[in-house]
Structure 1
């Protein structure tokens, strides 16, 4: 083999994205397949193994990284739980894939993968300390400290969307009540407005007063949620990704007003709030980076 390659995989509720990557992050081939329904661990494994055979027919890759919609254990071997996928509890996915493919495998939370992707090739590539917030169906997060992904002693750190926002708010799948996710996710936006975020973005773009007012309220809530994270971590930047970030320009000003009002200047000097750069490929890219790191550590 001339140059080694790895596979990055991002498992989502409706689609599974795979890419073959060189060491500098070039995606040499990519593929998206439908997530089987119901998305049981065995069904997902079968689909992934088949997709790997399609993307790497000549067996050129040496490792696999997988992003999961839920926390992995600290060693990156076991999918601990995936709230929105049936039957995912303590699934030894890395071991299963190694048996099926013969390739070293590491797994991680999908938002952590997105953070690693943005740190490697995206909005965080010149930053040592930042947090990523993914505003999607749920709200995920990743913490990059001193250039490294912070996962805590059991692998589950960085669930930034599950911090408490309003103790009397709607119930969250996590068991928390009134988490930030219940105010900032796509599901929360639907509940509050009856509309999709892209509809509200288009309306705001056209100058619709109601949509603009909604985004201002949304930005205010997001800004208040970010205050706690800024005080704890004092990052260089907050990177905002996920589907809702398409309306970044409409909610950012209100978020900044709240941060400036509520955070002492000593905790926010030089703070940047940036849109993510890798879009839907961030998780797949970060999973590939984790595969490279796993190979380097062996």
Structure 2
């Protein structure tokens, strides 16, 4: 697939799978069926980069690409490693990907990539001012967007609230672990979002992650002063955001 100016390619690296697809950057959607390959175990930088190369080769993609990663990413260096091999800590991920794949890579935190995609093509428009995108899953991911511009590597899932790491009480995994009904979980989410609102005063909160599909079940039990909407792009947001950021 040759590089067209309206096409990008995004890769989404997770603890269990690595997914990738070309993206139509005008429409904000995948331009071909995505490819998913299980994440190699152990998930060392070399092994993961090899899998990324397989996906690029599958699409015959030779240009620059964007790549999400479940970690804090500072200027292409992965500073943390959630659900992946600890050899990623302080690894120059962009350099490893460039060497192994032979293409230039832009590496970005996975929640940040999803946030950028939502702001550009999803539930949040650039006119919405300060947008907080929160993904509720195993943990709580966050992305802060100001008039379309990303403030990278916010870790608002790890705020300490009532003596607890917020995600240990309010993530979707905590709902399942503590066997909470929607109303009980809603109380915890209200506590979480109220705290975040008082720090950031966002204009809009977009909620992603698997539970965004069940938004109407739990959202009535969450009380915020900020308007809250479900994510629009669901599981493709990371791929789309990574491709967009690499293109920019």
- Relative to the length of structure 2, the TM-score reads 0.91
Aligned residues: 242
Q: Deviations over 1:213-248 (max 9, x none)?
A: x21111111111111221222211100110122332
Q: Deviations over 1:168-224 (max 9, x none)?
A: xxxxxxxxxx1110122233123201xxxxxxxxxxxxxxxxx7xx21111111111
Match for residue 43 of structure 2? 39
Q: 1:38 Cα deviation (Å)?
A: 2.2
| Aligned CA-pair RMSD | 1.7
Q: Which residue of 2 aligns with 1:290?
A: 245
Match of 1:163 among 146, 152, 159: 159
* Residue ranges of structure 2 left out of the alignment (5+ in a row): none
**In 1, Cα distance between the equivalents of 2:172 and 2:48?**
25
- The answer for the alignment partner of 1:84 in structure 2 is 83
Pick from 219, 232, 236 the counterpart of residue 277 of structure 1. 232
TM-score by length of 1: 0.76
Secondary structure of 1:289 counterpart: helix
SS of the equivalent of 2:68 reads strand
In structure 1, distance between residues paired with 2:162 and 2:155: 17
For residues 9 and 21 of structure 2, the distance between their equivalents in structure 1, rounded to whole angstroms, comes to 6
The aligned counterpart of 1:208 is none
Does structure 1 retain, via aligned residues, the 8 Å contact 2:3–2:63?
no
Matches within 5 A, 1:1-298: 3-4=4-5, 5-24=7-26, 25-29=28-32, 30-55=34-59, 57=60, 59=61, 61-73=62-74, 75=75, 77-87=76-86, 88-126=88-126, 127-151=128-152, 156=153, 158-167=154-163, 178-193=164-179, 214-256=181-223, 259=224, 268=225, 271-293=226-248
- Does the 8 Å CA contact 2:49/2:100 hold for their aligned counterparts? no
Question: Within 1, Cα distance between the matches of 2:171 and 2:192?
Answer: 12
Distance in 2 (CA, whole Å) between partners of 1:274 and 1:2 is: 34
Which structure carries more strand by proportion?
2
Unaligned runs of 5+ in 1: 168-177, 194-210, 260-267, 294-298
Give the Cα–Cα distance (whole angstroms) in 1 for the partners of residues 24 and 230 of structure 2. 25
Rg (Cα) greater in structure: 1
Mapped partners of 1:254, 1:233: distance in 2 = 22
